[in-house]
Amino acid sequence: MKLYTKISIIIAATATLSAGGCKKSFLDENQKTQLTQQSFGTPVGLIGSITGVYGSLRGLWGTEGFTNQLVAGTDETLAGGSTSNIGLFTYANIGLDDFRYIVQNAYTDINTLNGVIANAEVFTDPVQRTQYIAQAKFLRGMLYYYMVVNFGEMPLHVSLIVNPTTSDSRAPLADLYAQMIRDFSESSKELQVKPGQPFGGKAATQATALYFLGKTYLTRGWSKAAQTGDFATAATTFQGLIDNRATYGVDLWQDFADAFRPANDYGKETLFVIDESSDTKYGNYAPGGSGGNYNVTNYLFRPNYPSITANYPTATGSAVMTRDIPNGRPFIRIRPNTDYMLRVFAERVNDSRFDKTFQTTWIANTAGVSTPRGALTVGVDTAIWTPPFDPGAAKRASFKGVILLPPSVAAGTSANPYTPVVFPSMKKYDDPNRAAVNDPSTRPFVLARFADVYLLAAEALFKAGDLQKSADMLNVIRTRAAFKTTNTAAQNTAAIAAIQVLPAQVTLDFILDERSRETYEECTRWWDLTRTQSLSRRLQLYNSEAYPGYSKTSPADAYALRPIPLSLINLVTTGPALPQNPGY
């Protein structure tokens, strides 16, 4: 199903939106008709419009281009050996239209949502009408939020635009934040309380809106549009969500690993997802698909494990591994910033998150392979091991497979170092249920989970000056991090005690480090660093590949905003020109 409607100068063309990606969240039918502007006058048309906005979000989250934009050029990541956009990792030659799809998607969808709100009287049932208006308000607020954190001041439109114009202007940040807060505040009271009531899947709920409401207050508090009390209001909003988590049906899993199990994608820790589906009626899945609107996060972080030969580092001998579904497609786009990874995950005895975030062992899956140290038994022996430590010369000499170590650890030894193509693999997005090894993922992309509420609350409380409560929030996350199913109750209790943080230890850098431990490579890092005005400083400290390019911006820190898409600027031909962000 597609929705065609006129939009403003932001795109100044007919927009096409897919309306099929919500796992029947709104429509339980396979309708192929095309909705025109007149369809805003029918309930089915309005429902299809909202469904179309949900579907269009797949054009961003989970795709290769958008994932690069969210994780590249930060302290956490470096470019993989076959990265598709090195400029995002090094801040060199960033194109003025590289981010146009964010704007195109957003303003097309915003105009659609404005049409839903303007025509909602077609719903005769007042309860149903309130629910659909709330969905539209929430989505509009979310789209504006992500435009503001990328571009700063942007045009603000809250009514349906029928006829394109050739003029537009960027609204003040104060107005944009006020609109977002209004949309999130109202939808946090009007949306469904729990998933499935009345919508299926994981459509936005009151908890989703509260999460974004708190995050908007927090983000505004850091900005030049800050108002007195923003941090305290953010903290109160997050605390209310935490206190009422049973009402909203959200909570933490006991085990950190459970947050990333496919069976839990729609579970209690998930606040909001971008749906995917292998059913062509509701998704855009294609076997072997890459690029486009596919969710390819399952292989973007994968190393080229089949490149390791029996006589590594020479290229002689058989490959010790064959690509398969459990180990994933070796796309080699994004790799961990190893020295930073070692620093933030230095505690690996009492904190379980390193082992639950990274795959460091590849079990032999290819028969008849022998290394100079012995024959590898399929399903038994470890063919490749990338530990974050040196197991010692004796272990390296006797280990039948191939060991690679962090470069800083391997230095001065005979050990093989990680390379841009072989490194520990971030495994949170793995999809073991896909049909073939090269297939994209049909798991939903989890955009927000409940653990982040505690992290954001800790940040808000820190900024509000309450270090004790900030530490309390962090310790909820750290308590969960200590849990291991292999521990006894006494061992888990001891591990919890060992990693509790004291108020005096809470700093902004500690909070950012804790965010890495909890949300490593979960596609929020660039925004986390820009929100907290920490990008330049953290790059200088931890990412020598990105900082030289970033430091060349003029004025300083200009790259903490993305360039206003040139295609948008060029469409404004009447009245004052639409200004570009400084530094571009």
User: Which residues make Cβ contacts (< 8 Å) with residue 244, sequence separation at least 6?
Assistant: none
Give this prediction's pTM.
0.93
- Whether pLDDT at 34 is above 60: no
Architecture of the structural domain at 1-190+544-584: Alpha Horseshoe (1.25)
Band of residue 281 on the pLDDT scale cut at 50, 70, 90: low
pLDDT at 9 over 90: no
Alpha-carbon Rg for the chain, nearest whole angstrom, is 24
Residues 6 or more apart whose CB falls under 8 angstroms from that of 458 comprise: 470, 471, 473, 474, 506, 511, 514
Tens digits of per-residue pLDDT, 488-499?
999 999 999 999
CA dist., res. 431 & res. 521, Å (int): 16
**Cβ atoms 431, 299 nearer than 8 A:** no
User: How high is the pLDDT of residue 297?
Assistant: 96
Task: Output the pLDDT for position 196.
Answer: 75
* pLDDT at 364 (0 to 100): 98
| Residue 513 neighbours by CB under 8 Å, 6+ apart | 343, 344
Whether pLDDT at 22 is above 70:
no
The whole-number average pLDDT for the span 137-160 is: 98
Of the two residues 469 and 201, the one the predictor is more confident about is 469
Amino acid found at 245:
R
CB crowding 554-578: b at 16 or more within 10 Å, else e: eeebbbbbbbbbeebbebbeeeeeb
Cis-peptide, bond into residue 555, ω within 30° of zero = yes
Pairing of strands 2-5, 15-18: antiparallel
pLDDT value of position 164? 87
Of 298, 288, 300, 274, which Cα lies nearest the Cα of 85? 300
pLDDT in tens, 50-105: 989 998 999 999 999 999 999 999 999 999 999 999 999 999 989 999 999 999 99
CA terminus-to-terminus distance, the chain:
38
CATH 1.25.40.390 in the chain, residue ranges? 1-190+544-584
| Residue 345 in tokens | 């995950």
